[in-house]
Amino acid sequence: MLNMLTVDVEDWFHVQAFSDVYPRSTWDSQRTRLIGNLLRTLDILDEYETKATFFVLGWVAQKFPEVVALISEKGHEIASHSQFHRLVYTLDREEFKEDLQQSILHIESAADITVQGYRAPSFSIRQDLKWVWEVFAECGIKWDSSVFPVRHDTYGSPSAPRFPYRVEPEPGISILEIPPATVRFMGVNIPVAGGGYLRLFPYWFTRRAIRKINQEGHPATVYFHPWEIDVHQKRVNAKFKSRFRHYTNLKTFERKLRMMLAEFRFASISEVMKLYDGKTDHAKASKRDAG
């Protein structure tokens, strides 16, 4: 089974956990560690002959266009991660559209590509935000990977389908939604194989979770951030919960990532969905697998 590997391209001070400490007005004055972490990420993927989908902040593409171009030159897919990493459910329709359009403009200028995919900051698209899908269609977005079918204090739509499905808010609009990986346990969706979950859980759990998803006939969607391989990054004096989420097990992350890349096959979202889309009726499969 070919799984989907995704990278959310943001620096240590962009994360939602530190948004109260480092608001957007301070970003330009921070010491970036993104370039080194991204180059290291690309080297690791080259080592395991793996392609991924990189969700890039428009702010990053605007400030470091040469690095975004390098990601594309190496054969990876590039999609939008918004312009300024703001939670989608805090924006209105016009604010969201402007943010998305800005990100697309800067990414396409940097990499000379056409952006067709999106992932919201902190998975902050909820099922009840009907206008989001309409904005996607207006901006040329064909697929999204933002609706996380879990319960969480910042994000989540626990009743959403667990596997890829199509959202059709009105006739003529169809957006493919690709949820991050979860497994079903005692009637609850458990988030696995991504970011803090990959750092928090022991690797044997991640391995078992991906295998279970594959045995169910579906690819697993895995995500991580370049800052997660950076054990020497600045320690921020933030709230305990924020520090716990950001720093826990950073020292084990690269080892787990390498084990996962060695054991499972991965490719970009679009590459995997070319195979998967022809074999599965997303709407029917998703309703059945929502649990």
Please write down the HEC assignment for all residues of 25-50. Answer: HHHHHCCCCHHHHHHHHHHHHHHCCC
Query: Model pTM?
Result: 0.93
DSSP one-letter code for 226:
G
**CA 120 to chain CA centroid, nearest Å:** 8
Give pLDDT, residue 218.
95
Give pLDDT, residue 279.
52
Give pLDDT, residue 286.
40
Q: Domains (ranges, CATH) in the chain?
A: 2-289 (3.20.20.370)
93, 95, 97, 101 alpha-carbon torsion, rounded to 10°: 180
Contacts of 291 (CB under 8 A, 6+ apart): 162, 184, 187, 189
Mean pLDDT per 10-residue interval, the chain, length 291 residues? 96 93 95 96 98 98 97 98 96 97 98 96 89 96 94 82 91 92 91 89 96 95 97 92 89 96 97 76 40 39
Residue 97 forms beta bridges with which residues? none
